[in-house]
Amino acid sequence: MNWTSITGASSGIGKSYALLAAEEGRRLVLSGRDEDRLQETKLACLTAGASDVKTIICDYSNLDDIEKFIQFHQEVGPIERFVSCAGFGRFANVLEHDNAHMQKMLQVNLIATMLIVKEMALLMLNQNLDHGEIGVITSVAGKIFTPKSGFYAASKAGLHGFCKALAQDLWDTPITVTSILPGPTDTAFFNHEANGQAYFEHVKQFATTPEKVAKKMHKALAKGRTEITVPAYYEGIYHLIQLFPETGAKVIHSFYTLGNYR
């Protein structure tokens, strides 16, 4: 049996997707930064029905960890599905943003993720499997821009563009690439700092859940879709903004300020 590899599996969307995959009896490779929480996810997945679970600690800001991650996957066996959920956000006015946080966010969310996805795509191609799926959590923030999300939005817009281009590059291969764009999701993602909690207060009215994102992602991967937005109405909002950009920008700013945007 082939393996399903999931990054960011210690919490949030990554953990929810791991549990969903476990219910199908899949063999799982789970990675994340927090070993204790990763072991909790492993136990939960085994209880849910996973046939085997391996774990590996990987910090996307550490190049040595990334190299070990790739080597681990070269040795573990055929990877049928790779799902990248790792990432983090810091939310502040661009002019007030800490430069170190900005650089780390671009390194983790964009550069390291592109590097790992590229290497996993090469690995999967060399396995000569009949099919394989790559799923990458990008974000609605990469298409619909709110105040205090500038650097995070930039990292996710870049990642979304990368995924769409990679899907084209792999078009005539057995490997499909799906970009998953969730809206703000009610997880611990926003709890790491006061600014994140304050940002979530402005957008929580329409917050989705990690379980809903995981289910939609699961279906999209199985169908080989190139892109899916959760909740779907964000796609409608995006198209309206494209048609009426000036009005859209004013509405977004007004709703965010009122704490009702979503």
Catalytically annotated residues: 152
Nearest Cα to Cα of residue 140 among 246, 262, 7: 262
Residue 214 has phi, psi (to 5 degrees) of -60, -45
The 3-state DSSP class for residue 139 equals coil
Reference 175, options 115, 112, 117; nearest CA is 117
Q: How far apart are CA 211 and CA 132, in angstroms?
A: 23
Contact 160, 113 (CB under 8 A): no
**Computed from CA positions of residues 159, 70, 74, 22, in that sequence, does the dihedral angle turn out positive or negative?**
negative
The torsion angles phi and psi of 152, rounded to 5 degrees, stand at -65, -45
Distance CA 82, CA 134 (A): 5
Cβ atoms 22, 28 nearer than 8 A: yes
Angstrom distances, CA of residue 22 to CA of 13, 30, 44: 14, 11, 9
Closest C-alpha among 238, 179, 237, 189 to residue 209: 189
> What is the spatial order of strands in the sheet that 175-182 belongs to?
52-57, 27-32, 3-6, 79-84, 132-137, 175-182, 227-230
